[in-house]
Every structure is written in C-alpha cells, then in structure tokens.
Amino acid sequence: MGTWHKIIFGDCRYMKEIPNGSVHLMITSPPYFNAPFDYPGLFKDYDEFLDLMRGVAKELRRVLAPGRIACFVTQDVRINGKLYPVVADINRVMMEEGFTYRDRIIWRKPEGYIRISRRSGVQIQHPYPMYFYPDNIFEEILILQNGKYKYPKITPEFNSSKIDINEFNEGKWYLSVWDITNVLPLKGRVEEGIAAFPEEIPRRLIKLFSFVGETVLDPFLGSGTTMKVARQLNRNSYGYEIDLELKPIILEKIGYSPHPLTDDSIEIYEREDARRLRTSLQKKVEKQRSVVKKTRT
Ligand SMILES: C[S@@+](CC[C@H](N)C(=O)[O-])C[C@H]1O[C@@H](n2cnc3c(N)ncnc32)[C@H](O)[C@@H]1O
C-alpha cells in the first residue's frame, strides 16, 4: 500500500490541517534565527524568533500522539559577535509546553566543512591568552518526548519496522555523538541557499522513533529532506513551509510526478499566509558576503 504526503505552504504556528494526536514523530530544523549567511533579517529580534518557537511548541503538543518524540536539529547562532542560546531556549520552550527532555545527540561534521569562518585564526594571529575562539563543527539534535509512551506488544506485523542491528552497530548509532557529513548549500545543488540537513539524520531518527505506516511531521520543511526520507521508509508525512519559492525544490527532492508510477499520494496546499522569501534572503546574503570579503581584503 502507498503512503501519503501533504505539503502545506503557510505558517507552521497554525497546523489546522492536522488532527489532534495524529502525528507519531516530528523532525525539524527551524530557521537559524537571523544567521547572517542563511536568514539575515528574517526576524525583527530574538523575541520574535522565540514567539515562533512557542507557537510551534503549542501545536506540537496538540498534534503529537502520547509519548511520541520531537527532534530539533539546531545550534546556537552568532550574530555580530553575540551568541544566542538557541538550543537551550528551544529546550526550555518545549519543556514549558509540557514536553520531557529525553536526550541530546551531537551531530559532528567533518573538520573540513566549516562554512562560515575560521574563528580560530584569531589565535594564530595573536598567539597569546584570551584570543581563543573555536571553529564550530557541530549541531545538536534535541530529543523531547510528549509524555509517557505505552510500548505495544510486539507481533509479526512489526517485523518491517525492526531496527537492523548491524547498521546500528556499524554506524555507531548507539553513541551520543553522530559523525555525519553535512550538506553544503553550494551553487547548482537543489539545496542551494537552504540550510538543509543530510538525509542520514532523518533516516536514523525515523527508523529509531517510528513504525512503518506511521506519520512524520516537519514543520520547517525547507528543501523537503524529512519528507523525502519518510517516503523512502514507508511513512506518511506532513510538511509545512512558509516560503512558496521553495515549491519547485521540494517537489524535485521528494520525486513528485503529476503521473505517479507508485501508489503514493502527494497533496499540495497553498495557504493565504504563505510568503515569498528566498530571492530577497539570497540578495541579503550576497550583500553580507561582499561586506565580509571587503573587510578581509
Ligand atoms: C533550516 S530550514 C529547514 C531545512 C530542512 N531541514 C532541509 O533539510 O531542507 C528552515 C525553513 O523554515 C522555513 N520557515 C521559517 N519560518 C517558518 C514558519 N513560520 N512556518 C513554516 N516554515 C517556516 C524557512 O523558510 C526555511 O525553509
């Protein structure tokens, strides 16, 4: 039997298309506040960003089934030298909404993948104490739980959801640090200009926290990575994305066809509150880059 996937263009603070308690796993990476190379000026200030997270947390509490998991892939954001504690604040907002803090995984990226700047260069220029600024090569995966989970009695029908223990051991999924290469949003890639996470992250989380045939949600869909992997792993999915300009990218990534060869159904809804962001954000990012280049030369 095929799976279904619903893409809703609109603000994820309002997930009215989703009935109460009908989602079994949430995986997302919210916008990185106003990160200079991803979302410059997207929010008026940090409070506006936190308001968005509060709105989403409230909806997550409503749509997630009892005991189910919400995963946030994120990191603290530095803007003009000031570090914003995004990870701690999302955790706090979710706990205030009633979720339990279950775990935290460090997603470690390879050393050569530093995207923004080598802050450690300051120490090399000034080989004295107090000039230490590390290069960042990790993000965090926050794992929160919606109350107590009632484990089902395992019957043969659960065989298709069984975790492959060889894969689990070989990939060292059992550690609290996952070494996974990240996606660089380079020119020409489908994810250009989108802070996409690698497919390996939702692949592990979906296998570890949901059963075949269940429903996965990504409220900040971006290029559609979570939906693509949910479809591959025979889960249904909902994805919310505010930026209508990402529609062709999402459809390409999840393999949409108007004449599908499979039983999977893909529905697309465009709500009044959708916006057009990508072109204007990319212009601002280009401007930031030229300022950085000028200050370096
Ligand atoms: C970090 S990206 C997600 C990337 C995604 N994980 C991927 O792999 O492509 C965050 C996304 O959230 C979207 N977004 C920002 N505010 C939103 C809102 N209020 N409702 C829905 N989507 C929103 C942005 O347009 C952006 O595409």
CA of 103 to the centre of ligand 1 (A): 23
pLDDT in tens, 115-160: 666 788 899 999 999 999 899 899 999 999 999 999 999 999 999 9
Check if the beta carbon of residue 74 is closer than 8 Å to that of residue 33: no
Ligand 1 pocket member 142 (CB < 6 A): no
Task: Compute, in angstroms, the gap from residue 101 CA to the centroid of ligand 1.
Answer: 23
Among the listed residues 123, 135, 131, 132, the one whose alpha carbon sits nearest the alpha carbon of residue 78: 135
Ligand 1 center–CA 28 separation, angstroms: 8
Q: How many helices (H) and strands (E) does the chain have?
A: 8, 11
Task: Look up the CATH number of the domain holding residue 124.
Answer: 3.40.50.150
At 114 the pLDDT is 66
139 DSSP 8-state letter:
E
pLDDT in tens, 234-251: 999 999 999 999 999 999
pLDDT at 297: 46
Amino acid at residue number 42: L
Sign of torsion over alpha carbons 152, 1, 146, 183: positive
The response to whether residue 36 sits with its C-beta less than 6 Å from ligand 1 reads no
Q: Which of 46-50, 149-153, 170-174, 275-279 has the lowest mean pLDDT?
A: 275-279
- In which band, very low, low, confident or very high, does the pLDDT at 38 lie, cut at 50, 70 and 90? confident
Instruction: Estimate the share of the chain in helix, then strand, then coil, as percent rounded to the nearest 5.
Output: 35, 25, 45
Give pLDDT, residue 281.
87
Structure tokens at 144: 């929160």
In DSSP terms, which residues pair with 95 in a beta bridge?
none
Residue 17 per-residue DSSP state: T
Tell the residue number behind the tokens 């529609």, with chain if given: 247
Task: Name 97's Cβ contacts closer than 8 Å, sequence gap at least 6.
Answer: 54, 57, 58, 60, 61
Q: What's the CA gap between 87 and 74, in Å, rounded?
A: 6
Q: How many whole angstroms from 154 Cα to the centroid of ligand 1? A: 36
Q: Is 249 in the pocket of ligand 1 (CB under 6 A)?
A: no
Q: State in Å: Cα 249 to ligand 1 middle.
A: 13
Tell me which residue range forms the domain holding 130. Answer: 4-296
Amino acid at 235: R
Query: How many structural domains compose the chain?
Result: 1
Tell which atom from ligand 1 comes closest to the C-alpha of 12.
20
